[in-house]
Amino acid sequence: MSVTERRLIREASFGLTGKLWQISWTYVLLLCALAGVGYVALYSAAGGAPEPFASKHILRFGFGLVLMLSIALIDIRFIARFSWLGYLAGVVLLILVLKMGHTGKGAQRWLDLGGQQWQPSELMKIMLVMALAHWFHKASWERMGNPLFLIPPAIAVLIPVGLILKEPNLGTAVITAVVGGSIFFAAGMRWWMVLAIVGLGVAALPVAYSHLHAYQIARITTFLHPESDPLGAGYNIIQSKIALGSGGMWGKGFLQGTQSHLNFLPEKQTDFIFTLFAEEWGLVGGLVLMGLLATIILGGLLMGLRCRHQYGRLVALGLSMNFFMYVLVNIAMVTGAIPVGGVPLPLVSHGGTAMITVMIGMGILMSVYVHRDVEFADKQDL
């Protein structure tokens, strides 16, 4: 009996119980541990109470966990068929945001759905990953070297990036572009093309800077010289650095963070949640949290490498890169390495849209792993 025949027999008997066994429960426990860290941090952010942040956080994670496991049981080939439909739905939602979205803090980024505010740009990143993976599935090395073949997916990246920039949301737009670019690179895009795009991007920086909004220019100026306005634009990052430094090696202790509990630290439940955690648990606690985040990212990449089909590999890479960009931008932001951009720390920061979209992405990633040995039939499955 051939390897293919054995695989087909195993796939035919691959019922619900078999799929549950195939789920990486270790990975699920890692996600639960990260959400647990978020609960502890948000409990502290509320002054030692589950309301109003921690209780909502754990309820959302519970719902997201059920959603993730449900998606994991869906055949990845079935999910793949709706890749471009999901992409189009994401674009429509971004357009609706610009037409009728809720405005807050000078930006129009949210849609009111069912009494809740949702940020479609977060979901768009997942839909973009799936659409690009669909396009590049089984693309030959020769086709990847043809610039004309890369034009449609490049347009597919530029459309959501442009719509997100219009909100305006520069941080999410940059993350979306980087996540999309990672799929191009993983699919076999030539190095000279990558270098040419980077060169064009660098050359376009002066033009891009001239089109930035006033608050975005202020963020860059504050990043370069935070001490120039310590009680205004530079206040957030200065207080964040003070809190990080005051935590020392072992931290001040749970519920003992002075910068956060005396309300010097701004947005401590969302953008600056890592700072709050590091002040109370110190450098050691911060490194442990970063290690947990890194393990989750590495685990996602390894699940992709074990996948036999290109669609799953590209999806796993893109979703892992999306998670990585969340982490990189948030931690770099609160430590003063990059300008403040309003990006949450996944499964730790308070926020409904980010939590649910991350769990949807993790569900698709888990589906890739559960169905890592299936074979795609071009016309039937894509």
Q: Left if phi > 0, otherwise alpha if psi is -120 to 50, otherwise beta: which for 267?
A: left
**What is the model's pLDDT at position 325?**
95
Cα 171 to chain centroid, rounded: 12
Tell me, yes or no, whether 1 lies in a domain.
no
**What is the model's pLDDT at position 10?**
52
Tell me, yes or no, whether 2 lies in a domain.
no
**What is the model's pLDDT at position 115?**
65
Tell me, yes or no, whether 331 lies in a domain.
yes
**What is the model's pLDDT at position 301?**
96
Residues present in the chain in total: 382
Q: How many structural domains are present in the chain?
A: 1
Nearest to 347 by CA among 331, 328, 364, 326: 326
Structure tokens at 179: 């996540």
**What is the model's pLDDT at position 104?**
63
**What is the model's pLDDT at position 215?**
67
Tell me, yes or no, whether 4 lies in a domain.
no
Query: Which residue range forms the structural domain that includes residue 293?
Result: 16-373
**What is the model's pLDDT at position 170?**
84
**What is the model's pLDDT at position 305?**
93
Tell me, yes or no, whether 91 lies in a domain.
yes
**Number of C-beta neighbours around residue 37 at 10 A:** 20
**What is the model's pLDDT at position 319?**
97
Nearest to 173 by CA among 125, 105, 119: 125
**What is the model's pLDDT at position 79?**
95
Distance CA 102, CA 100 (A): 7
Mean pLDDT by 10 residues, the chain (382 residues): 52 69 94 97 92 94 96 94 96 91 67 77 95 92 90 95 88 92 92 83 75 70 68 76 90 89 82 93 96 97 94 96 95 87 89 89 96 76 58
Tell me, yes or no, whether 298 lies in a domain.
yes
**What is the model's pLDDT at position 381?**
57
Tell me, yes or no, whether 239 lies in a domain.
yes
